[in-house]
């Protein structure tokens, strides 16, 4: 998302199509994780939960909490995606059977905000890159002129000293 923001700032991508495609792709992936939890969550807990110290009672506790605060959990999970809890939340939302429409709404809203923030950081970094690139380019040209000037003066002094 930040890389796309950078590419937008450098003029390689248009903002609206890039933003829309990122949000749609991210949402599609999240829906797949939700469906995995919805379809395979409880069978997985029943069969392998003991290896992860997860019981059906634990799932019931999560379900109670999730259904009381589902909107906030989904939105915050999306907005803190970088903290590593998003995947667990997406699967858990399917596992506890949060309605798909509600899941998609809150996840899409969080995705719109999260993507905008990360693309804004990329655009800012693009501005920084262009500034640094411009300044370094000018410094490089100026340094080259100074070096050439010093070489010419040194060569002139050397030639005069020999003759």
Residues lower than pLDDT 50 in the chain: none
How much is the pLDDT for 82? 54
Residue 45 lies in a domain: yes
Query: CA torsion angle for 101, 73, 22, 121 (degrees, to 10)?
Result: 150
Rounded Cα distance, 114 and 138, in Å: 36
Query: Which pLDDT tens digit goes with each residue over 56-84?
Result: 888 888 888 888 888 888 888 887 775 66
Residue 135 lies in a domain: no
Residue 134 lies in a domain: no
- Report which of 100, 74, 101 is spatially closest to residue 88, judged by C-alpha positions: 74
Residue 160 lies in a domain: no
State how many domains the chain has.
1
pTM attached to this predicted model: 0.70
Residue 67 lies in a domain: yes
Residue 73 lies in a domain: yes
How much is the pLDDT for 84? 64
Rounded Cα distance, 141 and 62, in Å: 63
- Residue 28 dihedral angles phi and psi, to the nearest 5°: -60, -45
Domain coverage including residue 51: 2-128
Residue 133 lies in a domain: no
């Amino acid at each position: 998302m930040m890389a796309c923001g950078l590419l937008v700032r450098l003029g390689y991508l248009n903002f609206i199509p890039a933003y829309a495609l990122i949000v749609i792709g991210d949402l599609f992936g999240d829906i797949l994780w939700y469906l995995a939890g919805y379809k395979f969550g409880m069978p997985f807990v029943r069969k392998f939960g003991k290896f992860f110290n997860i019981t059906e009672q634990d799932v019931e506790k999560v379900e109670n909490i999730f259904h009381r605060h589902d909107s906030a959990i989904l939105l915050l999970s999306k907005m803190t995606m970088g903290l590593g809890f998003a995947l667990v939340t997406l699967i858990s939302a399917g596992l506890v059977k949060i309605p798909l429409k509600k899941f998609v709404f809150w996840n899409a809203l969080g995705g719109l905000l999260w993507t905008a923030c990360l693309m804004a950081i990329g655009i800012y970094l693009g501005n920084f890159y262009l500034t640094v690139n411009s300044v370094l380019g000018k410094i490089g040209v100026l340094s080259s002129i100074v070096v050439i000037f010093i070489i010419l003066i040194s060569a002139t002094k050397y030639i005069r000293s020999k003759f």
